[in-house]
Amino acid sequence: MNELDIYKKQNFANRVGLGHRPALITVDFVLSFTDPEHFGGGNITDAVQATVPLLAAARAQGWPIAHTRVVYADDGSDGGAFTKKAPGLLKLTETSPLSRLVAEMDPQPGELIVRKRQASGFFGTDLAGWLTWHGIDTVLITGCTTSGCVRATVVDAVSHNYRTIVVTDCVGDRAMGPHEANLFDMGQKYADLMTRDEILAHYGVAG
């Protein structure tokens, strides 16, 4: 019995499906995560470019859109255990260019900017309340990194009982091994895996 057979035998990887009221979440598409000299590399830049048409379609449809960015105090006083593991994150302050959303994700009025200090876009933020206010039943998650902040956001999204969809060509990681392994694992336990074009086709939207 191979590994996939074990998951099938235990009845994992069932579909949650797409609901009627989606929201788009872009996770940490900021300048530092597109630059290999800081936190980037791998296929993150490709994920940004793949997300551009999805973002445009979401705007055209009037879907709620939220963007997350990592933001710490200038003096690092709000850093915690997460920054002990990755102290370089402390340079992502409110005014640092490294924490600025990439130009392709430049937010428009009405789009939520979620400032976070932990991996998940939900932890210690008002994202869940904002989604509830908008009557959301489905979250489409894009961003980086697949194995880190995307995964943490996905786990918290399903914990809040949203239909959670990872847009596979719109997420990226600095290394392909963690990217692929985490996509597989999220698809088995936490989320449906769909491409951008599959999602747009389901909703009858041109990308």
From the number of C-beta atoms within 10 Å of its C-beta (0-12, 13-18, 19+), residue 101 rates as middle
Name the active-site residue from 31, 65, 149, 170: 149
Amino acid code (one letter) for 143: G
Strand order in the sheet with 163-172: 112-116, 65-70, 22-27, 138-144, 163-172, 192-194
Rounded distance, CA 143 to CA 25, Å? 8
Strand, helix or coil for residue 63: coil
Kindly report the length of the chain: 207
Cα angle 25, 50, 207; round to 5: 85
CB 123 within 8 A of CB 156: yes
Is 149 known to be catalytic? yes
Catalogue the active-site residues: 149
